[in-house]
Chain A
Amino acid sequence: MVGIFASLKWRLVTSRIRASRGGTKVGMVILLVLVVGFLGLTAVGLAALRVVPDYAVPIIVTLFAVQLVGWVLTPLVAFGVDETVDPARFALLPIRPQTLQQGLLVSSLIGYFPAGNMIILMGAAIGIGVPLSVLPIALMCAAAQLLLCVVLARAASTSMSALMSSRRGRDLGMGVGLLIFVLYLGFVSVINNPGDGSALQGGVERTAAVLKWTPPGALASLPGQVAAGEWVRAGFSALIAVAALALAWWWWSVALNKSLTTVPSTTAGSSPAGHRPDDTAVGVGVNGTMRVVAGRDRRLAWRDPMRRMPWLMLAVLTVVWPFLAVRGQGAVFAVAFGAILCGSQAGNQYGVEGSGLWLHLQTITDRVRARGEVLGHAVTVLIPGVIVVIVAIAVQAFAYDDYDKIPAALGVCLSALLGGLAAASYLSAAVPYAMPQSRKSLFASSVPGQKGRTAAASFGVLGGGVLIALPAAGAAVLSLTVSPIWGWIALIIGPMVGAVALLVAAHLTANRYIEQATDIFAVVSAGDRV
C-alpha cells in the first residue's frame, strides 16, 4: 500500500515534465538544474561552516528552527498545495488509518520541496558533523529533522483541514499569513540587532541559545554535544527530539482519525454582511460610475480578507521597512517603496473576481463607464494609500529628526503612489492574469501557466511607479545638493505628474478594456479552476 502512495506521488511530481514538450521541457529541466545548483551551493556554504564550529552550531540551530516553523505554517497559508496529502481524498477508500498515515508520510517525503530541504540538510549535517566521527550522527539528525518537519506539518494541516475547507477558516488562514509576515520582520530585526559583537553573530547567538532547547535546536546541537563528550546534554537533546517526533506522530494519527470520521463543520452564514445603509450613487457618467464602483470596493476592502490583509501588511511594511533598510537620516525617502506597493493594490482589477467579471461585462459597456470603473478602483486605493504614506513619512521624520526632508519625501512618495496606481490600472487591462478563486492562500497569486504574466504585471507596476516618481526624485536630489527650495518643487511636481499619469492611464485602460473585454474575461476566468 505504501508503495502505491509512493508511485502515485512520483507520477504527480513528474507529470508536468512528462506532459510538457520541446522548449517547455528544456526550460523546466534548465530551471530544475539551476535550482538544484543554487541549493547545492547553499549546502556547500553550510558544509563549509565546519571550519568554524563556534559559528556553525548557532547558525544551524536557527536554520533548523526556522525550517520547522516554515513547514508547519506553509500549509496554513497555502492549504491544498498537495492533493496527495489531503486526507479527505482518501476518506472513501477502504484503507486503515495506520496504513494511510504511513502512506501519507512516504508521499509527503517525495517531492521537489522535501528534496530541496534534504540537500540543504545534508550541507548542514556536514557543517555540524565535526569531527568526522560524528558525521553519521549529524546525518541521522538531519534525517530526523526532515521527518519532524513533515510529520508536524501534516499533523497541523490535518487538524486544520476541516477548518481550512470552509470559507471562514480560509479567512483565518489569511490572518496567519499576516502573522508570519510580522514574525519575519521581527526575526530580521532581532537577527540584525548588533548587541556586543558583529550584527549577525550577536543576534544569532542569543537566538540560538534559546532555540537549542527546542526539538529542531536539540537535533542541530546533538552532534556537537556527542563530540564534546557531554553525554547527559546529548541524551537530553535526543530525548527532546524523539519525544517531539512521537508526539507529532500521535497528534497526526488522532487528527487523521478525526478528519476521516467526522463531518467538517459548516460555517455558512457565519459572516453576514451587516446592515449598512445602501449607497445611493448612480452609474451615470464617469463620476457616477466611479462613485458606485468605489462604494463597492470600500465595502469589500473591510469585508474580504483577500483585500484587507494586504493593506494591513502594507501599512506595517511601509512604516517598518525604512527602519530595516536605511536605519538613519534619509529613511523618509525609503517610504517610496511602500508607496508603490500601495499603488499596486489597484493591480489586476479585472482578475480579482475571477469569472465574476461577467457581471461587469454586462453592465460596464461603454468607454465612459469603463473609465469611471478604473477611477473608482483607483480612489479606493488612493485614500488609504495617502494616509499610510503620510503616517510612514511622519514616523521616519520623527525617528531620525529628519523634518526638513518631509516636503521632498512627500513629493517623491505621492508620485510613486500615483505612478504605481497608474501602472497597476493600465496593466490590469494590458496584462490581465487569473487569480486563484479558491482563496486558499494569501500568497497564491497566480494560476499554472500564467506565472509569467503575473510576474510581468508585478514588475511592470514597480517599473511604472519608479518611472513616474523620477521627476520628483530629481527635484528631491536637488533639494539635498543645491537648495531646500527644490523639496517644495518636488512636492508640487510629484503629485501633479502622478495625477496626470493616473488620468491618462484611466483613459487608456478603459479603451483597452472595452476593446478586449472578452479576451480579458477568458484569461481571468481560469482563476475559477484553482
Chain B
Amino acid sequence: MTTSNDNPLLATPLSPPLASSSPASTPLPQYPGAGELLRSVAGQAVALRGLTKAFGERIAVDHIDLDVPAGSFFGLVGPNGAGKTTTLSMVTGLLRPDAGRVVVAGVDVWTDPAAAKARMGVLPDGLRLFERLSGPELLSYLGRLRGMPANVVRARATELIAVLDLADAGNKLVADYSTGMRKKITLAAALLHSPAVLLLDEPLEAVDPVSARIIRNVLGRYTHSGGTVVFSSHVMAMVEDLCTHVAVMAQGRIIAAGELAAVRGDALSLDDAFMHLVGASDVQEGGLSWLGSSPA
C-alpha cells in the first residue's frame, strides 16, 4: 500500500479536454505501460494510481494510490470534503479524472468503460433514480438494458426485492420511496448483474436501523461469496464492525490505509485513531455560558 506518487506512469494526463469532439473512429488511447499496470495489480479488486481531480483552484483528490484486495470489505472514511465521493465517482466512471488510472476487476475504467462497468455495481449518494418507475420496473429495465434475458432479470429481481424487504412496496413509484427504500432498490440494481465489485457511497446514511441491518446482511453475504465491497462512510463504529480493510482520507489524500487492525494501531477504537490521523480535536471547554440562561 502506498500513499505517495512514486509511479512514473501516474502523471500521464488521462483524457483530452472536456469539450473535445474527436471522431467516432479514434482508437482508445494507449498509455505507456498499460499492460504492466494491469499485470502489477492482478489480485486487486480495485487499484488507483495517481488519481487526481481539481475543481478550479481546489484540488479535491490529490494523486492518490490505493489497492483494494479482492474479497475484502473495504471502508473509505474521512471528514466531509475529504474527497471520498469524488474518488468513488472517478472509480465508477461518473467523473473524469484530471490524471491517474483506475483499474476495477482487472479492467482500466477509463480506457474500457464498457467492460469495467459490467464488472461493477454502484450505489452513489444523493443521485436520483428513474423516479416514475416502480421498483420492479426499474430493476427489469436496467437488467434488460445490460443485455440480461428477461426471465433471468425477473427471477433475480423478485429474489432481491424479497431479500431486501421491498416486496411490501409493491408497485409504488420510486418517487414515493423513503430514503431507506431508495438505498435498498439502488443496491438491488447494483447486485442484479452479479458484479465482481460493489462501490457504495454512504450506503447507510440516513437509513433506518431495520433497513441498515438488511443492507449489512446482504453485503455480508456478498463478500462471503467472493465479492468485494468498497464503501465510504462517516460512521466509524460501523466501519470498525464491518470492514476488513480501511483507508482514511483527508484533504484529498490517503493518509492511512491497510488492514483494519493496522490502521487502528494502539488506539482504543477506530474513531480515536481517525481523530488522531486527521488532526481533529474534541470541542474545547469554555464559552457558550449564555446557553440555557434566557428564553429570547
Contact = CB atoms under 8 A, between A and B. Distances in A.
Interface of A: 167, 268-275, 278-284, 288-289, 292-293, 295-296, 299-300, 303-304, 353-356, 358-367, 369, 437, 507, 511-512, 515-516, 518-519, 521-522, 525, 528
Interface string B214-255: 000000000000000000000000000000000000000000
Contacts of A303: 132, 173
Contacts of B175: 167
5 contacts: A273-B171, A278-B150, A300-B130, A304-B132, A365-B113
Interface string B125-146: 0111111111011001110111
B176 A268 contact: yes
Interface stretch (B18-26, B32-40, B44-52, B77-85): B18-26
B15 to A, nearest CB: 9
B32 to A, nearest CB: 23
B129 A282 contact: no
Contact of A282 (B21, B94, B133, B144): B144
Contact of A519 (B18, B93, B126, B127): B18
B149 interface: yes
Q: 8 shortest A-B CB distances, which residue pairs?
A: A273-B134, A365-B114, A511-B24, A356-B128, A273-B171, A280-B150, A355-B127, A283-B145
B141 A271 contact: no
Contact of B141 (A268, A269, A296, A353): A296
Interface residues of B, number: 48
Contacts of A284: 147
Contact of B24 (A274, A356, A367): A367
Contact of A437 (B94, B96, B124, B128): B128
A518 B176 contact: no
B128 A292 contact: no
A279 B176 contact: no
Contacts of A288: 147
A355 B128 contact: yes
B172 interface: yes
B189 interface: yes
B98 to A, nearest CB: 12
A292 B94 CA distance: 23
Contact of A283 (B19, B130, B146): B146
Contacts of A273: 133-134, 137, 171-173
For chain B, what secondary structure do more than half of its interface residues adopt (helix, strand, loop), or is it mixed?
loop
Given A167-B176, A356-B128, A279 B189 contact: no
Contacts of A268: 172, 176
Nearest to A510: B24
Interface string B1-44: 00000000000000000111111100000000000000000000
B158 to A, nearest CB: 11
B128 A362 contact: no
A418 B94 CA distance: 32
B137 A528 contact: no
Contact of A365 (B19, B117, B141, B148): B117
Contacts of A293: 145
Contacts of A356: 127-131
A268 B176 CA distance: 5
Nearest to A361: B94
Interface in B87-102: 92-96
A372 to B, nearest CB: 9
Nearest to A305: B132
Contacts of A516: 18-21
B130 A353 contact: yes
A524 to B, nearest CB: 10
A366 to B, nearest CB: 5
A167 B173 CA distance: 11
Nearest to B18: A519
A371 to B, nearest CB: 10
Contacts of A366: 114
Chain A CB within 10 A, most for which of B130, B148, B175: B130
Contact of B117 (A271, A279, A281, A362): A362
Contacts of A271: 173, 176
A329 B20 CA distance: 49
B196 interface: no
B117 A299 contact: no
B92 A362 contact: yes
B170 A272 contact: yes
B105 interface: no
Nearest to B25: A511
Contacts of B147: 282-284, 288
A126 B139 CA distance: 64
B171 A359 contact: no
B182 to A, nearest CB: 12
B93 A269 contact: no
Contacts of A363: 117, 142, 145-146
Contacts of B21: 512, 515-516
A507 B146 CA distance: 20
A437 B96 CA distance: 24
A311 to B, nearest CB: 15
Contacts of B93: 361-362, 518
Contacts of B154: 278
Contacts of B145: 283, 289, 292-293, 360, 363-364, 369
Given A303-B173, A518-B96, 7 more contacts: A271-B173, A288-B147, A300-B132, A356-B128, A358-B124, A361-B93, A437-B128
